[in-house]
Structures are given as C-alpha cells and as structure tokens.
Structure 1
Amino acid sequence: MSEQTAQEGTAGIRRVVVVGAGMAGVQTAVALRERGFAGEVSVIGAEPHQPYDRPPLSKAVLLGKAEDSAFDLDFDALGVDLRLGCEVLGARPADHELDTEAGPVPYDVLVLATGAEPVTLPGTEGVPGVHLLRTLDDAERLRPVL
C-alpha cells in the first residue's frame, strides 16, 4: 500500500488506540506507521514491562539465558504513545472512549489485541508443582523452582 493510499484510507481518523502491548498490538502500531498513518497512535498494556515476545519465556528467559524478550523498538521515534501498567476497565463505544485506571482515553479507532487467557485444567488450582507460564513475571517466579 502506498503512503498516499494509506492516508486516503484513514481520512478523518486522528487517533488509534491499541489495547494490548504484546506481539499483535506492537505490530499493529508499527504497521500503521509503516503505511504512513500520521495520526496519534497509543498502545496500552496492563503489564509494567516493555512489550515483549512470549515464546522465549519458556526457552531463553526460563533457562536464564536471557533476562527478557523485549521488542527492540524505539516507540518514541515511531511516535507511539506507550502506556504500560495501565489496565483498561471497559469501553464505551458510543462515546469512543476507554475507561482506564488513569482515566478516560478517547479514540477514533480501537484495536483489541489482548491475546487470550490461558486455559487451566480443572482441579489444578493451588496444587503444588503446577505452574502457569504466560507472562514475564510468571517466568521469573518459575525459574528458581526449576
């Protein structure tokens, strides 16, 4: 898509808010910039960590070969407002606003890239030796146990 086509396709859109700072959310923000979108782009993530790739959690991070798997991106240089440690509490589509812990966030276009919740097996909650691995914090808690 050319830069002109991208701008024509987003006419009237001034603000895109992406909820979710994982691979899908980050790639959405990068793709908007690569395709010439000049409006505001915000990425909101509930975790306090820089956005990171999840697959390495069960490999390099868990084994202690890497501290994290953060994406090597300069969000400031991309012109992306990165809001970490900010939980989204709800959306009000009629008002084009998100409700967050930090207050309302207006948007013209909303992208939900929140991933999926892990499926836990019935009867495993609280059982010693059964662990959940989805986040960087989970990997850091699990590393000493292994």
Structure 2
Amino acid sequence: MKYLILILPLFLVGFEQAPIDANKLIEKNGIYYEADNLNAFTGTLVHYYEGGRVKERAGYQNGTREGLRETFHENGQLFEKENYKDGELSGLFQGFYDNGQLWWQGQAKNNLRNGALQAFYANGQLKYQGQHRDNSQEGVWQYFDEDGNLGKPDAI
C-alpha cells in the first residue's frame, strides 16, 4: 500500500495536458475556446515570439486565466510573473529586467493593485515604494536615487 501511495502521484503527472499554442485556440469576449470543438479551454496556453522563444505562458480554467502567468523578454529571461484566481489578478505580481534583476513587485486582489508596491533600479537599489488601494496610490510614497538616498516623500 505504501508503494501505491508513492507511485500514484508520479502516474497522475503523466496525464497532465501539454501546453497549447495560442494559435490553436479562439478568443471570444475574453474567453479562450478550443478551435476544433469550441470547448472552453483548460490547460496551459503559450504564445511565441517569431523566433520560436516563449513570449507568454499562462494557466487557464474553463477559458479564463487561472494560476500562474509568465511573460518573457525576447532574450528568454522572465519579464512578468503574476497569479490569477477566477480570471482576476490576485496575490503577488512581479516584473524583471532583461538581465533577471527584480524591477517591481506588488500585491493584487480582485484584479486591482492593493497593498505594498516597490520598484527597483537595474542596479538593484530601491527606486520607490508605497501603498495602493483599489489601484490608486495611497499615503506617503518614498522615492530614492540610484545610490539609495531618500528623496522628498510624496504624500497622496
């Protein structure tokens, strides 16, 4: 019985659906459908650059985004990383420079920026930070120069 429990997860992984090229789906009113049978798409959708590198990879459930969405720079480095719940941006979202360095990060809920947001210079120094509420800046925002020196705060 112990062996069955250990092997079962490996067996189930083999049935995971392979990523689907976005060109094989139809998008209508924000919902993706399988072109051959018009069923709402569930799985991983992939967009490619002309050269064949992955441009975007995103999870879908019943035609809408669900789970992880990643976009990539043309050099293959991660550009954006976001999470979706019920088709809406939710939780941590991040952006990266084409060298892999963190560019920004924040929190979202119900498709709106909510909570702390930070942005960074390409050298890794903090550029600015503050709070969002329902996509609007809130409170005091701090701005820094590329050497990390605090500039004049900006009250919203």
Question: TM-score normalised by the shorter chain: which range applies?
Answer: under 0.3
Structure index of larger Rg: 2
TM-score using structure 2 length: 0.21
- Relative to its length, the structure with more strand (as a share) is 2
TM-score using structure 1 length: 0.22
